[in-house]
A and B are shown apart, each in its own frame.
Chain A
Amino acid sequence: MVTNDTIGPRGRRSNRRFRERGGVSVYPATFEYFAPTSVDEALDTLERFGDEAKVLAGGQSLIPLMKLRIAAPSALVDIGRIDGLDALEERDGRLEIGALVTHADCEKSDLLRGRYGVLGATAPLVSDPIVRNRGTVCGSVAHADPQGDWGSALLALGAEVVAQGPDGERAIPLEDFCSGPFMTALEPAEIVTSIRTADPGPRAGGTYLKLERKVGDFATVGVAVHVSLDNGTIGRAGIALTGVGPTNVKATAAEDALAGAAPDDDAIAEAARLAAEAAQPLDDVRGSAEYKRNVVRVYTERGLRTAIAAAQS
């Protein structure tokens, strides 16, 4: 015997809640709303509610989940009024992306061209202008959607998540941050205050290629590529994949194969083959696993060519 409550989650997220509860909703459940003006005040509120509370940044993932009643937090802590979280700047050769920096801020920023090209190419491919105007980079990373674009771009470039909690600040390497779909190393009473990238290298370039069914869709496949050159050969290569695994996937074998190699067709083809091997795609409405794996290969090749050309110029 099954009931409306026990029919288990199967399949896609938009449908899951529907199967569980016999309906989706445009009306969220009741919640309390807080708008602190300092990180400390925010942390206090978070501590008070424990895992019943949720940080609200741009709301572009959280609000839809609440409207579908997949999420029903009893308190929202809106960090939007906290001063000092909106920096997007280079410090000591590394880019600092504050918690309130939106996708649109990145899209418009000159900083994100050139050496940070992988980030610059990603920003305009995140959803549509409406979502980009409100959604934040840190929120996207904190949300840990395996189909999120920023996770791949930042993994390819190298980054750490800076979090503040009751016990102070800590920096978590991005590789260690996501443990599964929508799962992170963040404690309930911690706030991501910024993301700090690695130094891209003096001669570097990058790009992001995204296959989507239409504008505003999540990636069927995304491939982020970052390359730094060292005297004409490849110094460091970063390759990460979207939509083909339980988290954004770092294609380590492909990266390793490129390090120290000459940036020629053979090296590119081999790296693309290895990246395709690293993908863990599933069959779904967006396409077959075989198809997605092929797109990873094609995009890795195309992305490497673009990134190398950018680094060389």
Chain B
Amino acid sequence: MAVAHEIRGLGHSVRRKEDARFIRGKGNYVEDISLPGMLHLELLRSPVAHARIVSIDTSRAEALPGVVAVVTGELMAQHSLAWMPTLSGDTQAVLATDKVRFQGQEIAAVVAESAYIAKDALELIDVEYDLLPAVTSPQQALEPAAPLIRDDKEGQESNHIYDWEAGDKEATEKALAEADKIVELETFYPRCHPAPLECCGCVADVNPATGKATIYMTSQAPHAHRTLFALVAGLPEHQIRIVSPDIGGGFGNKVPIYPGYVVATAASLLIGRPVKWIEDRTGNLISTGFARDYHMKGELALKDGKMTGLRVNLLSDNGAFFADAQPTKFKAGLFHIVTGSYDIPAAHVVTKGAYTNKAPGGVAYRCSFRVTEASYLIERLVQTAAYELGVDPVELRMKNFVQPEQMPYESATGFLYDSGDYPAAMNLALEKLGYDELRSEQAAAREEGRLLGIGVAFFTEVVGAGHGKEYDIAGLRMFDSAELRVHPTGKAILKLGVRSQGQGHETTFGQIIAHELGIPYEDVEVQEGDTDNTPYGLGTYASRSTPVAGAAASMISRELREKARKIAGHLLEVSEDDLEWETGRFFVKGSPDRAVTIQDIAFAAYTNLPDGLQAGLEGVHYYDPPNMTFPYGAYAVVVEIDRGTGEWRVQRMVAVDDCGVRINPMIVEGQIMGGLTEGYGIAAMELITFDDDGNCIGSTFMDYLLPTAWETPVFELGETSVPSPHHPLGAKGVGESATVGSPAAYVNAVIDALAHAGVRNIDMPVTSDKVWHALAEVGLAE
């Protein structure tokens, strides 16, 4: 269709509209915002992990010229703001009053005429601490004699937070009892950090005359944040405007509300001037939402090579405050997707959470609420099972996949997989890789004393929450919205409740409108992030923008198309029923020349309406999805290990993804490559760890390592496409697939090189040091 090419709807790899401004340095990030009379806020953070605060003396700091105010927890307490609720129903200190509970915790804030002065003043605040022993692991936290971290909470007598379970205990025990083989794997998914290149920050501007609070902030969920601000600070919601301007990466890190936002807003309210807070890198790494930190044990029951049951025990390190960002009813997020891509009739997941003296906020780092941990565990466990059974890891997977004809498939833990053809994706990956030849190459290399490894991981994700009945954040149902206004000249503006942080919404959503209404995507302005002029939504994370807001954009387009049909009938002087739609125009059935374009119709909507029809061509749709979507993929990695240093180099990385219908394939591939890179970083180097005193190691980019272009493997991408049956466009969400699926593939590859010698596990990050120790243990070191 010639016209389809011009309007460039689904399937067109058009360049990203937003890049023109980003590439030219014309973006508008929070740090770019400068208001008249603006002050600067810097936070004093705790140097120790656990201590009672004896005294805080701010007098020297207050005396420094240029300092306007020093805010302490005591002052915040006078306004009932020393503590705030978390997204998991716990409380978190805004500024510490009684104790500090992790290194980097916010203690006080200086508001000054410049950031330099504020930094100077921080050094003049004298805090006396009474040191307490630090708790640095959940195992230690749950020992009876462990120091009590949350003595602020009434009735809290230990560091235990919650127990949560999913699945069927009895059925799983039965499967284990009847198995002819039980394969176990204990592995730790370490604490890592989303580390967006833009740290968090805000400019809070409370107008002393009107009382209106405008808060420019790095937010992935501005509407939800507005409501939470209203509930927490007691400000009337119509007097709060959150503006989330251009965002330099979020990856889950910008879902929670952090003390800096709250203190800056309180300071602006009290002082009557705008206050800017921009977090530095260390602040971001040591205090904001980390990810993972899950101790996992999996037991897989097998009978005749078929998986019959899966039991999982989890111990979660939640840090000092339980601040996981996740749907309210699910303490371990959506971890119970852990049966993955396999038809396992029985499964049982038991989780325990514990407080430790570490930063709070287990966010879903580029993942749909703990799906990454689940995917990692099952794919490592299946690989282990293959070695234990002496069968090829791919063969074992093929034998146990949920088959296409079983879709929609209800898993043992209660998810309804919407669609998929797993064997097809697996086969495509094997073909691209040349799997069988590689296995022979591996054997030949081993003869020469070289260690090659071929790792496979096959993931199934659950993304795109809600539906709202089951999934909510702090009570807010996880729907999303789209408001479309078509102007008289046929151009349009689309306003959404989600917020792009680099995902290319301005392009992708324009293409959805192009597909549905035939308005060229260049003619569609996409707006997000300003709560005063966009419809309510829950925000962008958990791969939900296209599944939910994308569906809303489709639906509102279709509603407007029905109105357009009425106008077209009026213009063409025929009955609506005689009209046929083809992208961009209505024509009279049987005479395609008698037609009006969507642009003609838009003009008529304001100039020439049939009687009884309201003017205008606009509307809003709130979409509550009937189910999640279940993207999946087959990833394969080839590595070679240096037996002298333990270094491993990726030689090949093949990634076949199925995310249903691809709206802009280039953007989809970009998302996949980014995720594969982050997955590599997590597998190879990213680590937030702590010494026994609770000092955070990983507090700068010299210690928290991110892969550069040099380390990043070359990716060979492939695609299959089974459309989601319930999404209006058949799309499934892809933002997180590769981060979720790839770590296991990299680790499986390293293990595969050593499996013949009996090595079964190396915890991430798989550093050369750990590999060398494994080599040495089995006598393979040079």
Pick from B120, B768, B782: contact of A29, CB under 8 Å = B120
Q: A4-B126, A295-B645 are in contact. Are A12 and B769 (CB under 8 A)?
A: no
B131, B693, B703: most-surrounded residue (chain A CB, <10 A): B703
Q: Are B711 and A291 in contact (CB under 8 A)?
A: no
Q: A24-B282, A29-B120, A211-B645 are in contact. Are A291 and B699 (CB under 8 A)?
A: no
Nearest neighbor of B644 in chain A, beta-carbon distance: A298
Q: Are B710 and A22 in contact (CB under 8 A)?
A: no
Q: Are A26 and B122 in contact (CB under 8 A)?
A: no
Nearest neighbor of A215 in chain B, beta-carbon distance: B710
Pick from A22, A24, A29, A211: contact of B699, CB under 8 Å = A24
Interface residue count on the A side (C-beta < 8 Å): 43
What are the interface flags for A184-226 relative to B under an 8 Å C-beta threshold, 1 for contact and 0 otherwise? 0000000000000000000000000001011111101000000
Nearest neighbor of A10 in chain B, beta-carbon distance: B695
What are the interface flags for A17-40 relative to B under an 8 Å C-beta threshold, 1 for contact and 0 otherwise? 011111111110110000000000
Nearest neighbor of B702 in chain A, beta-carbon distance: A14
Q: Which residues of B contact A19 (CB under 8 A)?
A: 47-48, 695
Pick from A1, A18, A285: contact of B54, CB under 8 Å = A1
Interface members, chain B 673-721 (any A CB < 8 Å): 685, 687, 689, 691, 693, 695-697, 699-700, 702-703, 705-708, 710-711
Pick from A11, A214, A299: contact of B710, CB under 8 Å = A214
Q: A211-B647, A217-B705 are in contact. Are A294 and B772 (CB under 8 A)?
A: yes
Interface residue count on the B side (C-beta < 8 Å): 57
Q: Which residues of B contact A217 (CB under 8 A)?
A: 702, 705
B22 within 8 A of A: no
The docked-state distance in angstroms from the alpha carbon of A69 to that of B54 is 26
Pick from B130, B647, B781: contact of A294, CB under 8 Å = B781
Q: A214-B708, A214-B711 are in contact. Are A23 and B282 (CB under 8 A)?
A: yes
B54, B645, B706: most-surrounded residue (chain A CB, <10 A): B645
Q: Which residues of B contact A50 (CB under 8 A)?
A: none
**Whole-angstrom distance between the Cβ of A133 and the nearest chain B Cβ:** 16
Q: Are B46 and A213 in contact (CB under 8 A)?
A: no
Interface members, chain A 116-170 (any B CB < 8 Å): 128
Q: Which residues of A contact B54 (CB under 8 A)?
A: 1
Q: Can you give 26 A-B contacts (C-beta < 8 A)?
A: A2-B48, A2-B131, A10-B695, A11-B691, A12-B703, A15-B697, A18-B282, A18-B699, A19-B695, A20-B47, A23-B45, A23-B282, A24-B282, A24-B700, A25-B119, A27-B116, A27-B119, A29-B120, A211-B645, A211-B768, A214-B708, A215-B710, A215-B711, A285-B703, A288-B773, A294-B781
Nearest neighbor of B130 in chain A, beta-carbon distance: A1
Pick from B47, B689, B767, B781: contact of A213, CB under 8 Å = B767
Q: Are A23 and B773 in contact (CB under 8 A)?
A: no
Nearest neighbor of A19 in chain B, beta-carbon distance: B47
Q: Are A15 and B699 in contact (CB under 8 A)?
A: yes
Q: Are B46 and A22 in contact (CB under 8 A)?
A: yes
Q: Which residues of B contact A298 (CB under 8 A)?
A: 644-645, 782
The docked-state distance in angstroms from the alpha carbon of A128 to that of B706 is 14
Q: Which residues of B contact A5 (CB under 8 A)?
A: 126
Q: Are B129 and A2 in contact (CB under 8 A)?
A: yes
**Whole-angstrom distance between the Cβ of B772 and the nearest chain A Cβ:** 5
Interface members, chain A 276-298 (any B CB < 8 Å): 285-288, 291, 294-295, 298
A85 within 8 A of B: no
Beyond the given A18-B47, A25-B119, please list 15 additional residue pairs across the A-B interface where CB-CB is below 8 A.
A11-B695, A14-B700, A15-B697, A15-B703, A23-B43, A23-B45, A23-B122, A24-B280, A24-B699, A24-B700, A220-B769, A288-B773, A291-B772, A295-B645, A299-B644
Q: Which residues of B contact A1 (CB under 8 A)?
A: 54, 128-130
Q: B interface vs A, CB < 8 Å?
A: 42-48, 51, 54, 107, 115-116, 119-120, 122-123, 125-131, 280-283, 644-647, 685, 687, 689, 691, 693, 695-697, 699-700, 702-703, 705-708, 710-711, 767-769, 772-773, 776, 781-782
A183 within 8 A of B: no
Q: Are B45 and A213 in contact (CB under 8 A)?
A: no
A313 within 8 A of B: no
Nearest neighbor of A20 in chain B, beta-carbon distance: B47
The docked-state distance in angstroms from the alpha carbon of A31 to that of B107 is 28
Q: Are B697 and A12 in contact (CB under 8 A)?
A: yes
A22, A25, A286: most-surrounded residue (chain B CB, <10 A): A22
Nearest neighbor of B123 in chain A, beta-carbon distance: A21
Q: Are B127 and A22 in contact (CB under 8 A)?
A: yes
Q: Are B107 and A22 in contact (CB under 8 A)?
A: yes
Q: Are A27 and B115 in contact (CB under 8 A)?
A: yes
Nearest neighbor of A5 in chain B, beta-carbon distance: B126
Q: Which residues of A contact B283 (CB under 8 A)?
A: 23
The docked-state distance in angstroms from the alpha carbon of A2 to that of B767 is 36
The docked-state distance in angstroms from the alpha carbon of A126 to that of B299 is 46
A3 within 8 A of B: yes
Nearest neighbor of A286 in chain B, beta-carbon distance: B769
A302 within 8 A of B: yes
B45, B115, B706: most-surrounded residue (chain A CB, <10 A): B45
**Whole-angstrom distance between the Cβ of A243 and the nearest chain B Cβ:** 13
The docked-state distance in angstroms from the alpha carbon of A128 to that of B701 is 14
Pick from A3, A23, A288: contact of B769, CB under 8 Å = A288
Pick from A15, A24, A30, A213: contact of B685, CB under 8 Å = A213
